Amino acid sequence: MKTIALMLCGTAAFAADPHLMPLPASYTPSGGRLAIDQGFRVALGGYREPRLEKAAARVIDRLARQTGMPLPGSLSKDATTATLVMETREGSAIVQRLGEDESYDLTITTRQARITAVNPLGILRGMETFLQLVDQDPKGWGVAAATIRDSPRFPWRGFSFDVSRHFMPVEVVKRTLDGMAAVKLNVLHWHLSDDQGFRVECEKYPKIQELASDGLYYTKDEIRDVIWYARDRGIRVVPEFDIPGHSTALLTAYPELGTLPGPYRIERKWGVFDPTLDPTKEEVYTFLDGFIHEMAELFPDQFFHVGGDEVNGEQWKTEHVQSFMKAHGLKDQGEFHRYFNSRVQPIVAKYAKRMMGWDEILAPGLPKDIVIQSWRGQKSLAEAARLGYSGILSAPYYLDLMHPAAEHYLADPLNEDTKSLTPEQRARILGGEAAMWSEYASPENVDSRDWPRLAAIAERFWSPQNVRDVESMYRRMETTSRWLDTLGLTHLSNYRVMLQRLAGDGPVEAVRTVADLVEPIKGYTREQTVNYTQQSPLNRLVDTARPESIPAREFNLAVGNGTMDHARLRQTLVAWRDNHIALDPMIRQREILSEVQPLSAALTEAATIGLAALDSIEGASPKPDASWIARSKASLAEAKKRKGDLVLMIVPGIESLVERAAAH
């Protein structure tokens, strides 16, 4: 069968572009439409379990919310007349395992939709595809008839969520799981401890929650609740407790585990810090045995993440460590860290878990069943695979670094560095994980840092490798973004709330005009402007603006390739030029808007130049002289420079107008 995925690589296939993300392995439209009306019924066929019954109830609930139609809440017993039949043969593992079958077939005819799968995991994936396809046409709600055969490209499709820098309440974790399920991600990697907080209750070592959490932690009951919630959605939960570095919070509670005596205080700033567990002390391994034992019982997943990143080695320069290293023939920090891991790994294994860690833990001698998570680059992943270790790729998927969706999307776990691997080595690359480090993320704005870009990454992990059409991705990501927000995520809805807070009683539209066209600075650069701490409120324009400005992207593209209608272009530029008139009085009154001032002024300046260029292109004014062109280019070069923590993104479009004015 010819797949749509392949056809989408050509530009002529837009009409066939189903609004799905991730795109399925194959999608064949068959003509006609299955209507969704108040007669909608769901039936389960074959194997049944409570998880499938709950899934069916969610289908009904979500459809009722989306369509506004009251739908009957109960399952139908009659698979011949039901609108949607979900049929599977057998249960999946009680504790979801890496590599279980997640494939499904979804056949939609004008009479019925039928999802068939080997086990409930495939049903859960197919159900999301079905729900995502529901749309409205002039005749009403329905789904286009089609045949879909689908299965994931990678078995490990994760999202790593830092809840230490800023604590994320259970409701945030749950809505994140809803979003993950919607785009077929299957691992929540829960980064539960770091310098800035230890977020889990421990009965054996209660000073963890008493002294290392500021009272912001998950009780064991809450953790179990989240794990069940995830299981219902076909998502594994892998906990991470970061050792031996990133452990200031733990050492605040148990300073005797530290390399230096302390005392330690929960860290309030961002960066890499000195406090490190002391690998020379036997009591450290006794503590870890007790802790890992309790956590291994709490978290049923087969994998257990011990972090291992960014050990700066400062505390290990101390005399007792240096003499220990000498006595044990450990010649540098790397070997000393390997020694630590070689003590931790048997503890993890004793509690029937496979150890996982960031790429720093990669060292010869550790058992081959550990898993390497590559964050420093793609090479270490290929290296791990060559050495016989399994791994997942995270380096190009750091959502907190505010890169555009396309950049994440085009980064492939099987990239150039893996070309020289044998098929057997390549199979060790299990997939990837996006990551959200929460230095600049709060419960209020974290969704807008994750979504919708996480959906594009989910497609990279799920869909065939040749699904790489960036324009198709952006189109589908927009639709998917709205769908995800209605599902309960808040990346669109909280944007409005945060803008209104910035505007106070003033006109929110004037703030929005600027907010829509700017982006936070990229990478690890935000620390350079303000001395941020854990207590800094994340309520400013930089916290509100989206990581990627879609309006700016579309403007730059349309103006750059000359497809933007001139009347609309003029209207847009006039609105941008004049926006400052409405905004300026607000900026003067409201301190929180002070960082908007230079961006708003730059927008006015750029739009003014754009209008002059447009006049000239349209013949309303003479061809600009060389000095105007030079001055304009210089102004635009200023306009696109970083201003505080933000960048105005529409300048390339204006620059192309100036080029055209100069050339005509």
Cβ-Cβ contacts under 8 Å for 382 (sequence gap 6 or more): 417, 418, 420, 421
Closer residue to ligand ACM in complex, CB, 178/310: 310
Instruction: Report the SS3 class of residue 284.
Output: helix
Instruction: Report the SS3 class of residue 267.
Output: coil
* Binding positions for ligand ACM, 246-305, rule CB under 6 A: none
Tokens standing for residue 324: 């220990």
Min dist. Cβ of residue 309 to ligand ACM (A): 4
Closer residue to ligand ACM in complex, CB, 289/309: 309
Closer residue to ligand ACM in complex, CB, 222/309: 309
Closer residue to ligand ACM in complex, CB, 218/375: 375
Closer residue to ligand ACM in complex, CB, 310/659: 310
Tokens standing for residue 133: 């396809």
- The H-or-E segment that residue 43 falls in is strand 42-46
CA-derived radius of gyration, the chain: 27
Closer residue to ligand ACM in complex, CB, 22/308: 308
How far, in Å, CA of 354 to CA of 372, rounded? 11
Q: Which of 53, 222, 310, 554 is catalytic?
A: 310
Q: Contact at 8 Å (CB) between 130 and 113?
A: yes
Min dist. Cβ of residue 625 to ligand ACM (A): 51
Closer residue to ligand ACM in complex, CB, 86/435: 435
Q: Contact at 8 Å (CB) between 349 and 366?
A: no
309 near ligand ACM, rule: CB under 6 A: yes
Distances (CA, A) of 250 to 192, 207, 552: 11, 9, 44
Closer residue to ligand ACM in complex, CB, 291/358: 358
Instruction: Report the SS3 class of residue 118.
Output: coil
* Binding positions for ligand ACM, 320-359, rule CB under 6 A: 358
Binding mask 354-383 for ligand ACM (x = CB under 6 A): ----x----------------x--------
Min dist. Cβ of residue 271 to ligand ACM (A): 11
Distances (CA, A) of 242 to 45, 93, 382, 436, 516: 44, 28, 23, 15, 37
Tokens standing for residue 144: 């286009």
Q: 459 an active-site residue? A: no
* Binding positions for ligand ACM, 182-211, rule CB under 6 A: none
Min dist. Cβ of residue 593 to ligand ACM (A): 33
Q: What is the number of other CB atoms lying within 10 angstroms of the CB of residue 38? A: 10
Min dist. Cβ of residue 240 to ligand ACM (A): 9
The sign one gets for the Cα dihedral 285, 286, 289, 291 is negative
Q: Contact at 8 Å (CB) between 564 and 555?
A: yes
Dmax (CA) of the chain: 84
The residues with which 277 forms a beta bridge, in sequence order, are 258
> How are beta strands 42-46 and 84-88 bridged, if at all?
parallel
Closer residue to ligand ACM in complex, CB, 96/378: 378
> How are beta strands 390-393 and 429-436 bridged, if at all?
parallel
Q: Contact at 8 Å (CB) between 515 and 248?
A: no
Min dist. Cβ of residue 373 to ligand ACM (A): 8
516 near ligand ACM, rule: CB under 6 A: no
Tokens standing for residue 392: 């997942």
312 near ligand ACM, rule: CB under 6 A: no
Size of the site for ligand ACM (CB under 6 A): 4
Min dist. Cβ of residue 190 to ligand ACM (A): 14
Min dist. Cβ of residue 375 to ligand ACM (A): 4
How far, in Å, CA of 115 to CA of 149, rounded? 10
List the end-to-end C-alpha distance of the chain, in Å, as a whole number: 49
225 near ligand ACM, rule: CB under 6 A: no
Min dist. Cβ of residue 307 to ligand ACM (A): 8
310 near ligand ACM, rule: CB under 6 A: yes
Residue nearest to ligand ACM (CB): 309
How far, in Å, CA of 13 to CA of 7, rounded? 6
Residue with tokens 């289908």: 59
Q: Using CB under 6 A, list all residues that contact ligand ACM.
A: 309-310, 358, 375
Residues marked as catalytic: 310
